[in-house]
Amino acid sequence: MDILENFKNMSVEEANAFLEDLYSCSHDCSTCGADCSSRTKKPAKRVIAVISGKGGTGKTVVTVLLAMALRKRGLKAGILDADIVNSGIPHLLGMKEPVLGEMESLVPAKSPGGIPVISMALISEDPLEPVIWSGIDTAKAAVYLFTESQWAEDLDVLLVDMPTGAGDIALEYYTTMPFDSSLCVAVPGEAAAMPARRAVNLAEMLLVPVMGIVENFAEEGFNLSEVFSDIPVVASLPYDASLRRAADEGGLESYETDALDFLARAIEESLDFGEI
Ligand X SMILES: Nc1ncnc2c1ncn2[C@@H]1O[C@H](COP(=O)(O)OP(=O)(O)OP(=O)(O)O)[C@@H](O)[C@H]1O
Give the residue among 122, 63, 58, 128 at the shortest CA–CA distance from 90.
122
Candidate residues 239, 254, 258, 276; the one interacting with ligand X per rule CB under 6 A: 239
| Rounded Cα–Cα distance for residues 99 and 108 (Å) | 6
Q: Taking the complex as a whole, how short is the minimal distance between the CB of residue 120 and ligand X, in angstroms?
A: 13
Give the residue among 263, 265, 242, 264 at the shortest CA–CA distance from 254.
242
Tell me which residue has its CB nearest to Mg ion: 60
Options 29-37, 57-65, 93-101, 116-124: segment touching ligand X (CB under 6 A): 57-65
Instruction: Answer for the pair 226, 214: CB distance below 8 angstroms, yes or no.
Output: no
Q: Taking the complex as a whole, how short is the minimal distance between the CB of residue 83 and ligand X, in angstroms?
A: 5
The beta strand positions in the chain, using DSSP E, are 46-51, 77-81, 100-102, 105-107, 109-110, 116-119, 157-161, 181-186, 210-218, 233-238
| Rounded Cα–Cα distance for residues 34 and 84 (Å) | 26
Q: Residue 52: left if φ>0, alpha if ψ -120 to 50, beta else—which one?
A: beta
By the rule CB under 5 A, 165 interacts with Mg ion: no
By the rule CB under 6 A, 112 interacts with ligand X: no
Options 9-17, 49-57, 131-139, 171-179: segment touching ligand X (CB under 6 A): 49-57
167 interacts with, out of Mg ion, ligand X, none, CB within 5 to 8 A per kind: none
Q: For Mg ion, give the closer residue by CB, 56 or 238.
A: 56
Options 71-79, 195-203, 204-212, 241-249: segment touching ligand X (CB under 6 A): 241-249
Give the residue among 46, 37, 97, 83 at the shortest CA–CA distance from 67.
46
By the rule CB under 6 A, 198 interacts with ligand X: no
The helix/strand/coil state of 238 is: strand
237 interacts with, out of Mg ion, ligand X, none, CB within 5 to 8 A per kind: ligand X
**Residues touching Mg ion, count (CB under 5 A):** 3
**Residues touching ligand X, count (CB under 6 A):** 20
Q: Taking the complex as a whole, how short is the minimal distance between the CB of residue 133 and Mg ion, in angstroms?
A: 18
**Subset of 72-101 contacting ligand X (CB under 6 A):** 83, 86, 88
Q: For ligand X, give the closer residue by CB, 58 or 116.
A: 58
For residue 50, list its beta bridge partners.
161, 183
By the rule CB under 5 A, 88 interacts with Mg ion: yes
For residue 109, list its beta bridge partners.
117
Q: How many other β-carbons are positioned within 10 Å of the β-carbon of residue 25?
A: 14
56 interacts with, out of ligand X, Mg ion, none, CB within 5 to 8 A per kind: ligand X
Instruction: Answer for the pair 179, 49: CB distance below 8 angstroms, yes or no.
Output: yes
Q: In what order do the strands lie in the sheet with 233-238?
A: 109-110, 116-119, 77-81, 157-161, 46-51, 181-186, 210-218, 233-238
Instruction: Answer for the pair 165, 32: CB distance below 8 angstroms, yes or no.
Output: no
Options 21-29, 143-151, 225-233, 236-244: segment touching ligand X (CB under 6 A): 236-244
Q: Taking the complex as a whole, how short is the minimal distance between the CB of residue 59 and Mg ion, in angstroms?
A: 5
Instruction: Answer for the pair 155, 45: CB distance below 8 angstroms, yes or no.
Output: yes
Q: For Mg ion, give the closer residue by CB, 51 or 211.
A: 51
Q: Taking the complex as a whole, how short is the minimal distance between the CB of residue 93 and Mg ion, in angstroms?
A: 13
- Residues at the contact surface with ligand X, assessed by CB under 6 A: 52, 55-61, 83, 86, 88, 164, 216-217, 237, 239-240, 243-244, 247
